[in-house]
């Protein structure tokens, strides 16, 4: 069976257009556009009032083609909403100390609102040292321990990581009930799995955090009203592991035969109530939240 395609908010199998399945599309592109439009209006109002224009500084170490493409796309997103951007490219041989020197300059640069260091970096870079060296106010990714701690404690003022924040906002704007829902996150990374669980918990979901070594994973996923796949393993979660009517968010980027796929196997669309496409679901939301975080970083610096 070939992959279903969204038509009019539901998923339709192309070999049988009369067979409509249950899953409504969690349309990351559409929701991301709303966020970009909101930020563009806020930036225009801010500049018209004579206040500072936000500025995003991106840093790319090495010349990885995918990372270069991601950075260029984020730069275009920033410019499209009126945020100034500056790009710093460093050689693949850059040392941690050399990168730290650049971070220090950007921290002290009063024109820079937010700093993005594209990951993954070359193996010789100690990213833990680099992340800690960032000014927490300019930490647009929300990776600094100060921001991560505020998010973990449920305290205000912390920068929420872009992908987890994007997942939660996508659910909210799509009308998925979160309060009181049983949410299962498959994936325990510090970048996606753990903070996604914390943000859902903050919104009063009951959260279970699973991973690839969880015993009887299906017994957990079948109980999920909200099911997030972020383990980075293609076809880890099959259709029989999904609760009928669940909201399914497919986060991971896996490559199979040159094609991008997530963690969910074929047929999930005819079981789920909501389903994010992959690609086109979470990716646009991550970029939108980066732009939103950049604007908010300038608000923290210059209200």
Residues 32-59 have a mean pLDDT of 98
Pair (176, 236) in one structural domain: yes
Exposure string (b/e) for 258-283, b if CB count within 10 Å is 16 or more?
eeebbbbbebbbbbbbbbbbbbbbbb
pLDDT tens, position by position, 193-202: 999 999 999 9
For residues 245 and 259, give the distance between their C-alpha atoms in angstroms, rounded to a whole number. Answer: 27
Pair (62, 175) in one structural domain: no
Pair (246, 199) in one structural domain: yes
144, 171, 187 — which closes off a domain? Answer: 144
Q: What is the reported pLDDT for 8?
A: 43
Q: What is the reported pLDDT for 9?
A: 46
Q: What is the reported pLDDT for 253?
A: 84
Q: Give me the catalytic one of 55, 74, 138, 194.
A: 74
Within-domain flag for 120: yes
User: What three-state secondary structure class fits 188?
Assistant: coil
Q: Give me the catalytic one of 27, 135, 141, 225.
A: 141
Percent of the chain at pLDDT exceeding 90: 83
pLDDT band for position 11 (cuts 50, 70, 90) = very low
Q: Give me the catalytic one of 118, 194, 243, 292.
A: 118
We report the CATH number of the domain holding residue 85 as: 3.40.50.10860
Residue 211: which domain range?
Answer: 161-283
> pTM, whole model, 2 decimals?
0.89
For residues 228 and 187, give the distance between their C-alpha atoms in angstroms, rounded to a whole number. Answer: 8
Residues linked to residue 5 through DSSP beta bridges, in sequence order: 12
Pair (169, 92) in one structural domain: no
Q: What is the reported pLDDT for 260?
A: 85
Q: In terms of Cα–Cα distance, which of 302, 300, 296 is closest to 81? A: 296
For residues 290 and 293, give the distance between their C-alpha atoms in angstroms, rounded to a whole number. Answer: 5
- What is the count of structural domains for the chain? 2
Q: What is the reported pLDDT for 258?
A: 82
271: pLDDT strictly greater than 80: yes
For residues 227 and 120, give the distance between their C-alpha atoms in angstroms, rounded to a whole number. Answer: 26
Residues 149-160 have a mean pLDDT of 93
113, 144, 175 — which closes off a domain? Answer: 144
141 is catalytic: yes
For residues 273 and 176, give the distance between their C-alpha atoms in angstroms, rounded to a whole number. Answer: 9
Q: In terms of Cα–Cα distance, which of 103, 92, 81, 150 is closest to 292? A: 81
53: pLDDT strictly greater than 60: yes
90, 111, 144 — which closes off a domain? Answer: 144
Within-domain flag for 33: no
Structure tokens belonging to residue 71: 């950075």
For residues 246 and 183, give the distance between their C-alpha atoms in angstroms, rounded to a whole number. Answer: 10
We report the CATH number of the domain holding residue 227 as: 3.40.50.720
Q: What is the reported pLDDT for 23?
A: 85
215 is catalytic: no
34 is catalytic: no
């Amino acid at each position: 069976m070939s992959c279903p395609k969204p038509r009019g908010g539901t998923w339709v199998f192309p070999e049988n257009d009369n067979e409509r399945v249950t899953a409504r599309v969690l349309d990351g592109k559409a929701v991301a556009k709303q966020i970009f439009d909101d930020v563009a209006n806020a930036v225009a109002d801010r500049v018209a009032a004579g206040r500072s224009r936000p500025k995003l500084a991106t840093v790319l170490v090495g010349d990885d083609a995918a990372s270069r493409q991601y950075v260029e796309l984020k730069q275009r997103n920033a410019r499209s909403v009126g945020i100034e951007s500056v790009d710093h490219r460093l050689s693949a041989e850059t040392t941690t100390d050399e990168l730290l020197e650049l971070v220090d300059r950007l921290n002290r640069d009063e024109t820079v609102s937010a700093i993005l260091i594209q990951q993954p970096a070359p193996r010789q870079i100690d990213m833990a040292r680099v992340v800690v060296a960032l000014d927490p106010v300019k930490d647009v990714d929300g990776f600094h321990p100060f921001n991560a701690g505020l998010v973990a404690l449920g305290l205000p003022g912390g920068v929420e990581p872009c992908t987890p924040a994007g997942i939660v906002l996508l659910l909210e704007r799509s009308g998925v009930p979160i309060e009181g829902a049983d949410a299962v996150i498959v994936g325990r990374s510090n970048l996606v799995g753990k903070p996604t669980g914390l943000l859902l918990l903050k919104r009063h979901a009951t959260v279970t955090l699973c991973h690839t070594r969880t015993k009887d994973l299906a017994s957990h996923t079948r109980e999920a009203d909200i099911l997030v796949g972020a383990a980075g393993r293609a076809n880890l979660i099959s259709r029989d592991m999904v609760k009928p009517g669940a909201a399914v968010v497919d986060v991971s980027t896996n490559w199979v035969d040159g094609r991008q796929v997530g963690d969910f196997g074929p047929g999930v669309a005819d079981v789920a109530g909501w389903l994010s496409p992959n690609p086109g679901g979470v990716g646009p939301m991550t970029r939108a939240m980066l732009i939103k975080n950049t604007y908010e970083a300038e608000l923290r610096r210059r209200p």
